[in-house]
């Protein structure tokens, strides 16, 4: 294909993909299937790799992440990001309205919006393209997180329509939907990581992750609520929001024009009840004067605008009795205490149980069985105990003593230094751990075995048919047919699912093994680096830490897992059953000219994305490592290479090569 043809096709694909993204993320009206979308995106990526000079910063391919940002530069806001004054009662709202009327000499229209419990962001657009994103920080200056913001599917990289200013800024809130928060915590629980506290803090931490591919995997969302520019767009706040929606921004459908204070009160009352049904957290309502001329006349205090205020919802609490504490054992052996309560209404649901997290929280609360406890929904999602209301007659109750032995197998619990949770170390003999590992192994992101689920695993375990994931591949139809609710067709489906799983690629098999701290992303990185299970089992901690994003804790966990002969025996049985324990050979357009040389990539490049140049290194026989050491052969340096990396490379005598040097090495003119 000629460059002119490629340019035309890239433009066509980009326009189509931007449109499909808008329909999927903003309008919630997908127009094509995921498979069709992926096919278009893959075609675009192939063309951009073949014609890197045609790669645009606002290409749909740039959403998927891959940029690694070590530093987040501090940027001064062009327009200060002020905080809002808060109100907690309708009387305070009446006082706010009275101040507005005194200042202007008349009543006004307001716009009511949901107050998102997320991370405030300012995003700059120049000539219709997203160019910069900065967090609120202290209101005067914040951190630039542009690469990470680009991964948010609901944000346009290039604006739709026409008539937008050549240079302006939009303000909004970055959110982590509850569904994604629950998914992330479920994955962290699977690999034995401490759970995140709430969606807001998780969203904030996500925006500061160094690897934008990891940010993309979190599926953040973003609602916009203001435009900042020299001059005006429409003269009203609601008119500006309408314009932003026309240009492709996601604007809440809940925003409403209110012509009286009664309308404002009705809006507050409605959403105080309905907010639990929203897919994200909201902690109040923002009330703004609609007229921009009135906003200008009212002005600002030193900290906040006089023309806007936030009404904060009261966090709903309930008081009920603590009847008992039970202890759950997870797949990794982590012990989670759960409070069993007298049923109580909270946030529109009946709460019977609440999380207690760990021994430290139980001790901090000073809990006793029989206590009257204060319960609230943390982050509007998970019920938690926040306090104790103990009457004088109950002071003689004995404080809860955290269990010393596993409630399932009786093994003495351990608690490693620096960790919050206790663990049962009986990995291969504790029933919940055995069944949990098998359930993880058959899961959708691992082996994805049709016909198998937790109930069937429970039956197979209780019948003595499976005690490890390898036992699954010895099952016969005669063995599974007697199981409850197992008909002829169900048995055939189960065995067919096991047969199909033999073709699951190595990264997913590795993830399915359930090595602590080895999640889906880490499994992919390890598989890509070591190519097969034998090389991975032989790897030292130092070699593992050479892999991008693999730290000491993960490396030690992997080494410890493979040091256990029982785990090696299981892997050998799985290998003999026909599972894939090596990467598939890929047809390469490159060569082996780099002969296994170790490369560290740093900076930005003219002809490649960061992921693109790493792939080019691997296509020509090189390998990527994350940090510079005496074993590093080359540092491939683009613009903006970190000075500390350069200094370390020079100190160790590691060759620093440019992008052009690299292209010459692999024979690209």
Q: How many CA atoms lie within 13 A of 102 on its CB side?
A: 7
Distance CA 71, CA 258 (A): 44
Is beta strand 86-87 parallel, antiparallel or unpaired with respect to 308-312?
parallel
Distance CA 637, CA 659 (A): 7
The overall longest dimension of the chain from CA atoms, in Å, is 87
Distance CA 608, CA 617 (A): 11
Instruction: Pull the structure tokens for residue 327.
Output: 């202890």
Q: What are phi and psi of 175, to 5 degrees?
A: -125, 150
Non-local (6+) Cβ contacts of 368 within 8 A are 322, 390, 394, 397, 398, 399, 400
Q: Where are the alpha helices (DSSP H) in 422-519?
A: 431-441, 454-462, 477-480, 488-501, 506-512
What is the DSSP annotation of 256-294? EEESSHHHHHHHHHHHHHHGGGSSS-EEEEEEEESBHHH
Distance CA 526, CA 5 (A): 38
Q: Which is catalytic among the residues 115, 384, 525, 614?
A: 115
Is beta strand 129-135 parallel, antiparallel or unpaired with respect to 655-657?
unpaired
| CB-CB neighbours of 201 under 10 Å | 13
Verify whether residue 524 is a known catalytic residue: no
Neighbouring-strand partners of residue 221: 175
152-191 burial, b at 16+ Cβ within 10 Å, e below that, comes to: bbbbbbbbbeeebbeebbbbbbbbbbbebbeebbeeebbb
Active site residues: 115
């Amino acid at each position: 294909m000629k460059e002119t043809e490629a340019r035309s096709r890239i433009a066509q694909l980009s326009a189509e993909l931007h449109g499909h993204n808008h329909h999927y993320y903003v309008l919630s009206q997908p127009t094509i299937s995921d498979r069709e979308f992926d096919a278009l995106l893959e075609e675009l990526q192939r063309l951009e790799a073949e014609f890197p000079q045609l790669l645009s910063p606002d290409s749909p391919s740039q959403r998927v992440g891959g940029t690694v940002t070590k530093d987040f530069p501090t940027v001064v806001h062009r327009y200060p990001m002020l905080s809002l004054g808060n109100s907690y009662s309708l009387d305070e709202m009446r006082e706010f309205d009275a101040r507005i009327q005194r200042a202007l000499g008349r009543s006004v229209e307001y716009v009511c919006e949901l107050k998102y419990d997320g991370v405030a962001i300012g995003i700059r657009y120049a000539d219709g393209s997203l160019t910069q994103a900065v967090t609120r920080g202290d209101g005067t200056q914040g951190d630039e997180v542009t690469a990470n913001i680009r991964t948010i599917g609901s944000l346009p990289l290039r604006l739709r329509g026409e008539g937008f200013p050549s240079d302006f800024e939009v303000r909004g809130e970055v959110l982590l939907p509850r569904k994604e928060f629950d998914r992330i915590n479920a994955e962290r629980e699977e690999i034995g990581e401490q759970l995140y506290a709430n969606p807001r803090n998780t969203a904030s931490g996500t925006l500061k992750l160094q690897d934008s591919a990891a940010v993309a995997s979190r599926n953040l969302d973003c609602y916009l609520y203001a435009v900042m520019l020299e001059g005006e767009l429409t003269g009203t706040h609601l008119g500006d929001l309408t314009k932003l929606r026309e240009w492709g921004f996601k604007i809440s459908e809940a925003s409403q024009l209110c012509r009286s204070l009664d309308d404002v009160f009705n809006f507050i009352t409605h959403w105080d009840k309905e907010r639990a049904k929203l897919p994200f957290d909201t902690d109040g309502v923002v009330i703004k004067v609609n007229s921009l001329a009135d906003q200008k006349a009212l002005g600002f205090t030193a900290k906040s605008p006089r023309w806007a205020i936030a009404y904060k919802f009261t966090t709903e609490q309930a008081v009920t009795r603590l009847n008992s504490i039970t202890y759950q054992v997870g797949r990794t052996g982590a012990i989670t205490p759960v409070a069993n309560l007298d049923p109580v209404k909270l946030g529109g649901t009946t709460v019977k149980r609440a999380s207690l997290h760990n021994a430290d929280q139980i001790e901090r609360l000073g809990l006793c069985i029989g206590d009257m406890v204060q319960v609230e929904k943390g982050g509007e999602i998970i019920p938690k105990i926040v306090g104790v209301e103990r009457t004088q007659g109950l002071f003689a109750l004995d404080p809860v003593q955290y269990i010393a032995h596993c409630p399932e197998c009786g093994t003495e619990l351990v608690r490693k230094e620096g960790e919050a949770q206790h663990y049962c170390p009986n990995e291969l003999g504790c029933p919940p751990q055995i069944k949990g590992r098998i359930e993880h192994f058959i899961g959708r992101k691992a082996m994805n075995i049709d016909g198998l689920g937790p109930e069937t695993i429970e039956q197979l375990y209780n019948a003595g048919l499976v005690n490890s994931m390898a036992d699954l591949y010895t099952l016969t139809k005669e063995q599974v047919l007697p199981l409850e609710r197992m008909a002829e067709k169900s048995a055939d489906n189960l065995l067919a699912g096991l047969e199909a799983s033999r073709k699951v690629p190595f990264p997913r098999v590795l993830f399915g093994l359930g090595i602590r701290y080895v999640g889906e992303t880490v499994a992919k990185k390890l598989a890509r680096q070591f190519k097969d299970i034998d090389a991975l089992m032989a790897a030292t901690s130092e070699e593992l830490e050479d892999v991008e994003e693999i730290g000491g804790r993960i490396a030690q966990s992997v080494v410890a897992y493979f040091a256990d002969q029982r785990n090696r025996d299981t892997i050998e049985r799985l290998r003999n059953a026909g599972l894939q324990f090596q990467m598939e050979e890929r047809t390469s357009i490159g060569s082996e000219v780099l002969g296994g040389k170790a490369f560290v990539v740093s900076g930005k490049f003219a002809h490649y994305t960061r992921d693109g140049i790493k792939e080019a290194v691997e296509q020509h026989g090189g390998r990527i490592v994350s940090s510079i050491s005496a074993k590093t052969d080359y540092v491939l340096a683009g613009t903006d290479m970190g000075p500390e990396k350069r200094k370390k490379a020079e100190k160790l005598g590691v060759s620093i090569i440019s992008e052009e040097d690299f292209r010459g090495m692999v024979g690209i003119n």
